[in-house]
Structure 1
Amino acid sequence: MNAHPYSPAFAAGGFGFVSGALSVDENGTAVTGRTEALVAAAARLSERLGSVGMTLRDVVKTTYFVTDVTMRDEANSHYELLFDEPRPARSFVEVAALPYGATVEIEAIAHRRN
Structure 2
Amino acid sequence: MTQLIDSGTGAAHPYSPAFVAGGFGFVSGALSVDADGRAVDGVEPALEAAIARLSERLATIDMTLGDVVKTTYFVTDVTLRDAANRHYERVFRTPRPARSFVEVAALPYGATVEIEAIAHRA
In the superposition, the TM-score normalised over structure 1's length comes to: 0.97
Given candidates 6, 11, 29, the residue that maps to 1:20 is 29
- Structure 2 matches for 1:38-77, cutoff 5 A? 38-77=47-86
- Tell me by how many angstroms 1:20 deviates: 0.2
For structure 2, the residue ranges without an aligned partner over 5 or more in a row are 1-7
Q: Give the superposed CA RMSD.
A: 0.8
User: Higher relative contact order at CA 8 Å, sep ≥6: structure 1 or structure 2?
Assistant: 1
Structure 1 residue 91, shift from structure 2 partner: 0.2
Partners in 2 of 1:35 and 1:66 — Cα distance?
A: 13
Match for 1:106: what amino acid?
Answer: I
Aligned residue pairs: how many? 113
Q: In structure 2, what is the equivalent of residue 6 of structure 1?
A: 15
Q: Which runs of 5+ in 1 are unaligned?
A: none
Residues 19-59 of structure 1: CA deviation (Å, up to 9, x unaligned): 00000000000000011100000000000000000000000
Equivalent in the alignment of 2:40 = 31
| SS of equivalent residue, structure 1 residue 49 | helix
SS in 2 for 1:30: coil
The whole-number CA distance in structure 1 between the counterparts of 2:107 and 2:17 is 16
Identity among equivalent pairs (%): 78
Counterpart secondary structure, 2:37: coil
Whole-angstrom distance in 1 between the partners of 2:100 and 2:13: 25
Distance (Å, rounded) in 2 between the aligned partners of 1:108 and 1:70 = 21
Cα-to-partner distance string for 1:49-100 (whole Å, 9 max, x where unaligned): 0000000000000000000000000000000000000000000000000000
CA distance in 1, matches of 2:96, 2:37: 28
Superposition TM-score, scaled by structure 2 size: 0.91
